[in-house]
């Protein structure tokens, strides 16, 4: 039994599903890296840890959106835009 019996379904999953799975899998790793780099600096600058949390969460979300868009762009450039 094949996971994707139709080639079109496989391509559709590769274009839409894999970036979402990538983002879910890598977000905690990016979160830890940003927290390790920016956390100590922000802790000294910003008085409330809640605000530090919001800044790190926002930076992580922006980084993941940028990385996913970059990989989509590179994937379309390498594999073509045709369905």
Q: pLDDT averaged over consecutive 10-residue blocks of the chain (83 residues)?
A: 72 76 92 95 93 96 92 73 54
CB neighbourhood size of 79 (10 A): 11
Nearest to 37 by CA among 27, 52, 26: 52
**Angle between helices 7-45 and 49-79 in degrees, nearest 10:** 150
- Identify the pLDDT of residue 80: 65
Compute the distance between CA of residue 52 and CA of residue 60 in angstroms, rounded to an integer: 12
- Identify the pLDDT of residue 32: 97
- Identify the pLDDT of residue 13: 73
Compute the distance between CA of residue 41 and CA of residue 49 in angstroms, rounded to an integer: 12
Nearest to 53 by CA among 23, 31, 33, 68: 31
- Identify the pLDDT of residue 12: 73
Predicted structure pTM score:
0.75
């Amino acid at each position: 039994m094949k996971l994707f019996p139709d080639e079109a379904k496989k391509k559709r999953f590769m274009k839409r599903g894999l970036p979402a799975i990538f983002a879910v899998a890598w977000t905690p790793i990016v979160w830890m890296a940003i927290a390790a780099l920016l956390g100590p600096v922000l802790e000294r600058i910003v008085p409330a840890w809640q605000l530090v949390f919001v800044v790190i969460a926002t930076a992580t979300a922006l980084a993941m959106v940028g990385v996913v868009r970059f990989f989509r762009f590179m994937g379309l450039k390498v594999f073509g835009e045709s369905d």
